[in-house]
Amino acid sequence: MSGKIGDLESSLALLDTLIQVFAVLVAIGIVGEVGFGVRHWILNRRLQGLVHFEDQKRQAEIARLNKEAGDARQAAGAAIERAAVAEERAAIANQKAEAEHIARVKLASAIAPRSLAISQTREIVDELRPVANADIHITVEISRGNSGSLGIQIYNALKEAGFSVQLQEASRVLYETSIGGPLESINALNAISAALGKRVPIMGLIGILPPNSPIRIAVGERLMGELSKN
C-alpha cells in the first residue's frame, strides 16, 4: 500500500514539473507572439510610410510632366500661330512684289525702244517683194520718241522690197501703228497690213485715202496699259 502511495506521489511530482515546464513554454510563446506582433506592426507602419512617400513622389513627378507637356503644347500652339501669321505676311509681300514686278515690266515695255529683229525685217521684205512696185508710193510717218527706230526699220524694209518710200516726221505725237491708202493700191495695202501685222500690233486703218494718195503708215508710241495699283 505504501508502495502505491509512493508511486502516485512520484507521478504527481512529475506532472507538477511538466505543468511548470509547459507553463513556462506557454509564457515564452505568449511573450514571443506579443513581441513578434509588435515588430510586425512597426514594420508594417514603416512600409506604409515608405509606400505613401513613394506615391506622393510619383504623383509629383506625374504632375510635373503633365505641366511640362501642357506648357509645350501651349508653346507649340503659339509657334504655329506665329508661323501662320508669318506665312500670311510673306504671301502678301510676295503678291505685292509680283504686282510691282509686273508694273515695272509694263513700264519698261512701254518706254523701251520698239524695233524689229533682223529676221523679222527680212521676212517682211520677202513677203512684200512679189507685190512691190516702184509706182506704189508709201509714206512712213513717225513721231519723235521711241517709235523712231521701228519706223525707220519699216521704211527700210519697204524700200528694199521695191516700193517708193518716203520717211516723214509727224508734227504731233502718234500712238501705235496704223495704215491706210487709196483703193487703187488695195492689194499692196492688204499685203503690207498682213506682213506688218504679224510682227507689229496694228491698231487699225487710217481709212481709205483719196485717189493717187500714197499709202500712209503711221508709227507712233506704244500705248501704256493700266499699271497695277497694288
Q: Which of 95, 112, 129 is a domain's end point?
A: 112
Please, what sign has the CA dihedral across residues 61, 67, 70, 71? negative
Q: 105 and 171 share a domain?
A: no
Instruction: Measure CA of the first residue to CA of the last residue in the chain; give whole Å.
Output: 144
How does strand 202-208 pair with strand 177-181? parallel
Whether 69 and 123 share a structural domain: no
Sort 150 into a burial class: Cβ within 10 Å, 0-12 / 13-18 / 19+: buried
Residue where one domain finishes, among candidates 92, 112, 132: 112
**One domain for residues 61 and 122:** no
Same domain, 147 and 64: no
Tell me the one-letter amino acid at 173: V
Per-residue model confidence (pLDDT) at position 137: 96
pLDDT tens digit string along 133-190? 999 999 999 877 666 788 899 999 999 999 999 999 887 777 788 899 999 999 999 9
Residue 191 and residue 148 share a domain: yes
Handedness of CA 112, 113, 119, 121 (dihedral sign): positive
Contact 205, 70 (CB under 8 A): no
* Within a domain: 62: yes
Alpha helical stretches, state H, 162-211: 186-197
Tell me what pLDDT residue 113 has. Answer: 45
Question: Which range marks the domain in which residue 130 is found?
Answer: 118-219
Is the same domain home to 129 and 54?
Answer: no
214 φ/ψ angles, rounded to the nearest 5 degrees: -75, 155
Query: pLDDT tens digits, residue range 15-68?
Result: 677 777 666 666 666 655 556 566 666 766 777 777 778 878 888 888 888 888
Residue 135 and residue 84 share a domain: no
Q: What is the CATH number of the domain that holds 183?
A: 3.30.70.2390
- pLDDT at site 100: 65
pLDDT, tens only, 76-127: 788 788 878 878 887 887 787 677 656 554 544 444 446 789 999 999 999 9
Q: Is residue 224 part of a domain?
A: no
